[in-house]
């Protein structure tokens, strides 16, 4: 490192010109290689209750481009969580998902650009998600510790690389406390586990900063540039994390990046990109006038020292008393709000209806703009459950798209399979809530999204038919794009048949086909009976005995207890799963077999008899097959509160 240090310091001191930092948004000049790595990028340019890190999302975008374009990672192997999407719940889900799915030949990257602090024990560093209160006690409770991260990624810790572009001292990048009431911290250089590799932006008592010329968060910008080729001082075409960190250490004069862990010397990136000319402008240091730090009006010329001290003591006593009164009232209100929120959430989560909406609205009316009066002054009370209530109220406003309505279904436990055949009956739990279209996708909706109508018997309110499983998958992705949501399926066209993967599973927040378990849960609707809605088939379903062999408008028969129509009869419906024996051991959010020849259809149609219309009947169909008697409906996972 000595030669590199000497070379860089010579350039650093040689001129007064500023550094012209390169644009990292262009693809890296390197050999693109398919990689089994995975990456989680977390960037907090905004926080709910405090100022974020300027230009954090720009650095996140550049890292995303590096992983996908430079290292060749598929989009499904890279998660980018910015601002409000970087909630504690979402971060936990992505850590668990990527940790669980990391290939034995891959590495797990975690890039964090935000605020950090040190926990009570003085040993653990912690990062702060978007929903972080400025009250110290709650800030600690909402923080994500290095122990949390280690438990979420499990055994993948040995192949994990953490880049923390933050200081763990509870200060922002201007050196101010994240909260006026937050205790002073010295900060630490954290580790996740003894086996993981961690790059920290600063040493224990330093503060993370920005690059002067482009206002980018310094470490995450310079480290990325180093991996693109800037740190290749030995001209061998390969960068290691140690080389990249040493490079960052040399060019960031006000902070000292550190690296620890087993992957420090591993070859990471093959690149030849030229870095910037390392020259900087040396600013003159202007000493601070101590008198400028004294609040205006507090120091009077004609007051003796004893009198001043007595007056200041009185003022301090008054301020302490005011704060005690504020803390007491705020604590009482927050306890009441937390208790009432549990009641409201329990009531509203049972059923999506007007009483549920009124209950949540009433909670918001009570607590959204809560204020207290102390000594004639008004203080606003920050109540964390208000944000959750706003989210829940938004979720209760279920969508309607091109005339097709949706209903919210809360997850739960049920017995799946043929209840008359114990060998097929098994317990399943759906751990998530989801929206489901109350009818099959109509021709009007399909035409609006896809620009075509393949149905034989045409009309806006008829279900779309003559659609293969692949057509239904493409529609779901197109509807997600149409609504500005993430696409749930990765589709690769092949000469024989498209290859479809479902990388996020039911964690995906876009539109998709229901899993077979979701379909049966909705069809049963917590109601006994062989058909969706009970046992009176003629009231519930169009089948061959009462339909005259023709498909009918949607929603002409009675709905089930969830308010969903035609899950028995009219047209049969595609679901996600491959056809095969039930994976009984996969009892939580099952996705069916990993491969197969046929996909599952459910519900029967006007062309079938009574038996296929039962809620527990299933049958295999080639995914490329089309018929005037088969259609589909779509679902969308509701984000957790």
Report pLDDT digits (tens) over 563-622. Answer: 999 999 999 999 999 999 888 877 899 999 999 999 999 999 999 999 999 999 999 999
Instruction: Examine the fold and report which residue of 341, 367, 397 is the final residue of a domain before the chain moves on.
Output: 397
Residue 572 has phi, psi (to 5 degrees) of: -70, 160
Q: Is the pLDDT assigned to residue 87 strictly greater than 50?
A: yes
- Mean pLDDT on 250-272: 86
Judge if 187 and 103 occupy the same domain: yes
Last residue of a domain, one of 245, 270, 295: 270
Shared domain check, 420 and 390: no
**Edge-to-edge order in the sheet of strand 572-578:** 619-621, 599-602, 572-578, 630-631
Residue 297 lies in a domain: no
- Asked whether the predicted pLDDT for residue 76 surpasses 90, the reply is no
pLDDT at 397: 77
Identify the CATH number of the domain in which residue 550 sits: 3.90.1580.10
Residue 88 lies in a domain: yes
**Residue 102 belongs to some domain of the structure:** yes
pLDDT value at position 5?
A: 39
Residue 586 and residue 436: Cα distance in Å, rounded?
Answer: 23
Task: Confirm whether 567 is domain-assigned.
Answer: yes
Say whether pLDDT at 630 is over 90.
yes
Please answer whether residues 382 and 335 qualify as being in contact, where contact means their C-beta atoms are separated by less than 8 angstroms: no
DSSP code for 69 = I
430 & 464 share domain: yes
Instruction: Say if residue 221's pLDDT is above 90.
Output: yes
Specify the higher pLDDT residue, 494 or 178.
178
In this predicted model, which residue has the larger pLDDT, 194 or 628? 628
144-145 and 125-127 as β-strands: parallel, antiparallel, unpaired?
antiparallel
Q: Which domain holds residue 543?
A: 413-637
User: Tokens at residue 369, please?
Assistant: 């703009």
Residue 18 pLDDT: 62
- Give the mean pLDDT of 109-135: 92
Q: Is 592 left (phi over 0), alpha (psi -120 to 50) or beta?
A: left
Look at residue 61 and tell me if it is in a domain: yes
Distance CA 496, CA 470 (A): 13
CA atoms of 214 and 638, how far apart (whole Å)? 39
Do residue 480 and residue 449 come from a single domain? Answer: yes
The answer as to whether 197 is a domain residue is yes
Res 36 pLDDT > 90? no
pLDDT of residue 33 exceeding 70? no
Which range of 40-44, 378-382, 415-419 scores highest in mean pLDDT? It is: 40-44
The pLDDT of residue 16 is 34
CA–CA dist 379, 373 (Å, integer): 6
DSSP letters for 192-236: S-TTSEEEESS-TT----B-TTT--BHHHHHHHHIIIIIT-TT-S
Residue 350 included in any domain? yes
Domain check: are 476 and 554 in the same one?
A: yes
Q: Is residue 321 part of a domain?
A: no
Run of H or E including 137: helix 136-142
**388 with 430, same domain?**
no
Q: What is the pLDDT of residue 420?
A: 63
The residue-averaged pLDDT of 493-514 equals: 90
Per the prediction, the chain carries an average pLDDT of 88
Strands (E), 44-165: 78-82, 108-113, 116-118, 125-127, 144-145, 160-165
Summarised one tens digit per residue, pLDDT across range 440-476 is 999 999 999 999 999 999 999 999 999 999 999 999 9
Do 421 and 387 share a structural domain?
no
More confident residue, 6 or 288: 288
| CATH number for 85 | 3.40.50.1460
Residues 393 and 420 in one domain: no
164 and 266 both lie in a single domain: yes
Q: How confident is the model at residue 518 (pLDDT cuts 50, 70, 90)?
A: very high
pLDDT of residue 70: 81
Within 10 angstroms of residue 239's Cβ, the number of other Cβ atoms is 23
Residue ranges of the alpha helices (H) in 399-468? 443-450
In this predicted structure, the answer to whether residue 6 has a pLDDT above a threshold of 80 is no
> Is the per-residue pLDDT at 8 higher than 60?
no
d(CA 141, CA 349): 25
Show Cβ contacts of residue 98 under 8 Å, excluding neighbours closer than 6 positions: 38, 39, 40, 77, 79, 108, 153, 156
Q: Are residues 252 and 195 located together in one domain of the fold?
A: yes
Q: Could you give the number of structural domains in the chain?
A: 3
CA distance 493 to 481: 19
Residues 424, 362 share a domain: no
Q: Of 356, 373, 397, which closes a domain?
A: 397
517 and 576 assigned to the same domain: yes
């Amino acid at each position: 490192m000595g030669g590199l240090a000497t070379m860089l310091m010579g350039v650093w001191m040689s001129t007064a010109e500023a550094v012209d930092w390169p644009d990292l948004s262009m693809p890296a000049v390197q050999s693109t290689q398919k990689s089994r790595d995975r990456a989680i990028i977390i960037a907090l340019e905004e926080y709910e209750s405090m100022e974020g890190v300027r230009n954090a999302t720009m650095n996140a975008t550049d890292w995303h481009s590096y992983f996908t374009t430079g290292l060749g990672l598929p989009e499904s192997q890279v998660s980018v969580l910015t601002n409000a999407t970087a909630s504690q719940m979402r971060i936990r889900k992505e850590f668990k998902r990527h940790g669980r799915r990391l290939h034995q030949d891959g590495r797990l990257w975690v890039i964090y650009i935000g605020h950090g602090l040190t926990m009570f024990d003085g040993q653990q560093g912690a990062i702060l998600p978007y929903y972080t209160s400025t009250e110290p006690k709650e800030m600690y409770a909402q923080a994500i510790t290095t122990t949390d991260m280690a438990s979420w990624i499990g055994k993948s810790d040995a192949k994990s690389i953490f880049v923390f572009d933050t200081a763990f001292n509870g200060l922002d990048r201007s050196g101010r406390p994240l909260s006026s009431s937050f205790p002073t911290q010295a900060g630490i250089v954290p580790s996740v586990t003894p086996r993981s590799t961690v790059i920290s932006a600063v040493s224990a008592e330093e503060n993370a900063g920005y690059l002067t010329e482009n206002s980018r968060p310094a470490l995450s910008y310079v480290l990325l540039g180093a991996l693109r080729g800037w740190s290749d001082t030995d001209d061998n075409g390969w960068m290691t994390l140690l080389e990249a960190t040493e490079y960052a250490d040399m060019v960031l004069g006000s902070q000292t990046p550190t690296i620890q862990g087993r992957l420090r010397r591993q070859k990471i990136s093959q690149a030849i990109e030229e870095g910037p000319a390392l020259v900087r402008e040396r600013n003159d240091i202007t000493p601070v006038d101590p008198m400028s730090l004294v609040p205006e009006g507090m120091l009077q010329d004609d007051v003796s020292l004893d009198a001043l001290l007595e007056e200041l003591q009185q003022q301090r006593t008054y301020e302490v008393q005011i704060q005690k009164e504020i803390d007491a009232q705020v604590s009482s209100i927050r306890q009441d709000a937390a208790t009432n929120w549990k009641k409201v959430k329990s009531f509203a989560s049972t059923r999506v209806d007007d009483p549920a909406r009124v209950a949540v609205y009433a909670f918001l009316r009570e607590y959204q703009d809560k204020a207290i009066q102390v000594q004639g002054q008004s203080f606003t009370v920050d109540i964390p459950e208000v944000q959750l209530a706003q989210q829940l109220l938004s979720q209760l406003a279920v969508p309607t798209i091109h005339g097709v309505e949706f209903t919210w279904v809360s997850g739960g436990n049920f017995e799946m399979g043929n209840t008359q055949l114990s060998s097929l009956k098994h317990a399943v739990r759906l751990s998530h809530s989801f929206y489901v279209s109350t009818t099959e996708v109509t021709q009007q909706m399909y035409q609006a999204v896809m620009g075509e109508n393949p149905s034989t018997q045409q009309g806006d309110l008829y279900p779309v038919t003559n659609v293969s499983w692949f057509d239904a998958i493409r529609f779901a992705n197109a509807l997600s794009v149409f609504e500005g949501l993430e696409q749930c399926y990765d589709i690769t066209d092949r000469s024989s048949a498209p290859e479809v993967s479902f990388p996020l599973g039911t964690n995906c927040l876009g539109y998709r086909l229901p899993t077979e378990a979701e379909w049966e849960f909705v069809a049963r609707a917590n109601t006994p009976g062989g058909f969706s809605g009970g046992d009176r088939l003629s009231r519930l379903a169009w089948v061959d005995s009462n339909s005259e062999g023709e498909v009918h408008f949607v929603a002409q028969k009675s709905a089930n207890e969830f308010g969903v129509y035609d899950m028995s009869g009219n047209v049969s419906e595609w679901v996600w799963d491959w056809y095969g024996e039930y994976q009984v051991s996969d009892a939580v959010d099952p996705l069916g077999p990993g491969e197969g020849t046929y996909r599952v259809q459910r519900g029967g149609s006007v062309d079938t008899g009574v038996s296929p219309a039962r809620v527990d009947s299933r049958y295999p169909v080639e995914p490329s097959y089309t018929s005037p008697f088969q259609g589909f409906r779509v679902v969308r996972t509701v984000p957790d509160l």
